[in-house]
Structure 1
Amino acid sequence: MAAQRLACQTFTWEMLGDSWTGGPDDLVDAIAAAGYEGIEITDTMIGHYSDRPDAFAKRLDTAGLRLAAFAYGSDGGFSEPDQAEADYEACRKWADFASRFPGAVLSMGSATAMSEGARPDKISIAADIYNRSAKIARAAGVDLALHPSSHENTLLFDKADYDRIFALLDDAVGWVPDTGHILRGGQDLLGTLGDFDQRIRYVHLKDVTVDGTWAMLGAGVCDVPAVLAAASQAPRFNGWIVVEEESDEAGRDPADAVRRNFETMRALT
């Protein structure tokens, strides 16, 4: 059983859009100051380290952080055949980057509908892209995992979507269950975790209210202790619990929000 470790996802700052004027060093400083052991950073937030993995590794070492995961998205939503080659090229680039960090997982974003077409057909295309990407990542010595979401036009929203995509994926494709997105999709959280526990690599932890509104950790309906217990039983879970925040509080002050979430996690565990 892997020892559980807390990391922080930088999408919390990404939500600020153009009003965010900082950079990756500011993210590292804020996350380290809050007490986390690790960081999950995205392709849009890596900034001037995008082609300098050794420099980023040194920066993390100085801050006392580890790279838990690197997440990236796609202009084609991982569902457009004519953009699949661009998706594979992005996978090569970021798998090479992540390979500099032992144990870091490469996280692919949720398949998203970018054009008209039948939903099952688009999910099938996405499965092909995920499967080939996992082979590319594995060639670089990196595990790859899928991160479904509940955001606009996602193709991976409810349990039927999860059943469909996972039935099409090779065993090499892992899963990053996101508690907030699972709950917003109307799913039974613990049931979904149990159904696909063989694929769990690490966990995204965030909270929502009963009506699906994003909430600070512990202020919504997510049963955090039960999630941690379920994750600990997953055979390929690597121990990383990655806290992410999308509530209004985070929009006002991301650094304070992630610090408060760290304190909540310490109180719960």
Structure 2
Amino acid sequence: MSLPRARFACQTYSWQMSADRFRGTTRHMAQVAADAGFAGFEPEVFMLGADWNARRLDADLASVPIQLAALCLVHDWRGPSESDEERREADAAIDAVAGHPGAVLNLVVMPGADREDLRERQRNALACMREVAQRAADRGVVATFHPNSPAGSVFRTPDDYELLLDELPEPLGFTPDVGHIAKGGMDPIALVRRTSDRIRHVHIKDIHSDGGWAATGEGVLDIPAIVATLDDVGYRGWIAFEDESPLAERDPDEAVRRTGAYVRRSLITVTEETP
């Protein structure tokens, strides 16, 4: 398999599991990701720190240097329209991404404590994200929705995904996270093929057969086959890797380094061009 290195990015969730230590250390996280061989970086807004701004983010990335692949924004979006605070934070994220051609705004609904009032919560989340996506599109920014799989997630089961794919509004894209898809009882490769025309970003993390998160390449997912499928369906955007394994909880820097080594070893064939 010969794939361009620039397609692979590092997401910050490995550090988020130790947020008290790493929140606000954007330059450190970006440097570890770059040293691990990743060309792209996807921070979650929360991990940038309470006083983050677009100028500081740009300076941190330029100092490494590494490209912004995506900025991940997580909100409840429980109402039928964005709250004032949700709108302010979304607009700040849009402003930050607008300065980085090719980067996307990756939207995630915060899992709740339960799935009560599920249909209303699903409808409201999609309506709020549609508002964000439209404002983003007006700025030339692609916004895309990343479902997840904790017990209180509003889009986690096959039935949820059927509804999502029927009602995913334009101009909102779709971010398949293959680990969450598998944990929800679905086939990631089949879903990638089915949704290829709406995919705007991708997350990859590995999973054990019992549903626990695995270090990248040590679980049951056939990651090379998933990446090959993305290539086959014509996907040319960023593929962001996460590691949520016990190793990442203990030592996120090492987990990222190991993930980068896996990507170089298993997903990239380096070839020299002849004159």
TM-score (norm 2): 0.88
Partner of 1:73, secondary structure, is strand
Tell whether 2:69 aligns with 1:71. no
2:8 is aligned to: 6
- Specify every segment of 5 or more residues in structure 1 that has no aligned partner in the other structure, as ranges: none
- Consecutive unaligned residues of structure 2, counting only runs of 5 or more, are 268-275
CA distance in 1, matches of 2:232, 2:87: 32
Q: Which amino acid aligns with 1:240?
A: W
Q: How many residues align?
A: 265
- 1:164 is matched with 163
2:228 is aligned with 1:229: yes
CA separation in 2, counterparts of 1:21 and 1:124? Answer: 32
The question of whether the paired residues in 2 share the 8 Å contact of 1:3 and 1:239 is answered with no
Paired position in structure 2 for 1:258 = 256
Describe how 1:1-269 pairs up with structure 2 within 5 A.
5-20=7-22, 23-47=25-49, 50-51=52-53, 53-74=54-75, 77-81=76-80, 84-110=83-109, 112-113=111-112, 117-235=116-234, 237-269=235-267
Specify whether residues 116 and 22 from structure 1 end up closer, same or farther in structure 2 by C-alpha distance, changes over 3 A only. closer
Cα distance in 2, alignment partners of residues 187 and 170 from structure 1: 22
Paired residue type of 2:192: L
Distance, in Å, in 1 between the alignment partners of 2:37 and 2:49 is: 23
Closer, same or farther in 2 for the Cα pair 1:152/1:35, shift >3 Å?
same
Deviation per CA, 1:45-68: give whole Å up to 9, x if none. 1137722x2343233233131000
Residues 80, 127 of structure 2: 8 Å contact kept: no
Report the TM-score when normalising by structure 1.
Answer: 0.90
Q: Quick one: structure 1 residues 114 and 215, their matched pair in 2 at CA, closer, same or farther if it must change by over 3 Å?
A: closer
The CA RMSD measured in Å over matched residues stands at 2.2
Aligned mates of 2:232, 2:78 — CA distance in 1? 32
Percent sequence identity is 30
SS of the residue 1:150 aligns to: coil
Structure 2 CA distance for partners of 1:46 and 1:21, relative to 1, 3 Å: closer
